C-alpha cells in the first residue's frame, strides 16, 4: 500500500482507535491463505467485540474506498476477495 491511508482527510472523522485496529488487521492478514482467512476473521471479530470496536455502514464504506485509493492492483484483488468472503459470511 502506498502512502498512509490513515492520514487521508476522508477518514479524519473516524475514531483513531478504530483506524489503528484496522491497520493491525492489514498487517496481520498479509500472508494468510484463503483457508486461513475465515478463522482469522472470526478471531478479529472477537477481538473487536472484546475491545468494543464496531463500525457503522458509512464508516466501512468510507474506509474501504480510502484504502482502495492507496492500494496496488494486487492489494485491490485481495480486498475484493476479503469483501466477498465477508459478504458471503453475512448472507
- The per-residue pLDDT for range 31-77, each reduced to its tens digit, is 888 788 778 888 888 888 898 999 998 998 899 899 889 888 888 88
The cell for 82 is: 476479503
* pLDDT at residue 40, rounded to an integer: 85
The cell for 70 is: 492507496
pLDDT at 3 exceeding the cut of 70 = no
* pLDDT at residue 9, rounded to an integer: 95
pTM of the model: 0.71
The domain locations on the chain are 5-90
Cα–Cα dist 84/90, whole Å: 10
Q: Which of 81, 59, 56 is nearest to 71 (CA)?
A: 81
Amino acid at each position: 500500500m502506498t502512502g498512509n491511508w490513515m492520514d487521508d482527510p476522508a477518514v479524519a472523522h473516524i475514531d483513531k482507535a478504530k483506524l489503528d485496529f484496522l491497520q493491525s488487521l492489514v498487517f496481520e492478514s498479509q500472508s494468510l491463505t484463503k483457508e486461513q482467512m475465515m478463522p482469522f476473521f472470526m478471531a478479529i471479530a472477537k477481538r473487536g467485540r472484546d475491545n468494543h470496536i464496531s463500525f457503522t455502514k458509512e464508516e466501512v464504506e468510507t474506509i474501504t474506498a480510502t484504502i482502495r485509493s492507496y492500494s496496488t492492483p494486487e492489494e485491490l484483488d485481495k480486498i475484493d476477495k476479503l469483501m466477498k468472503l465477508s459478504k458471503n459470511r453475512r448472507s
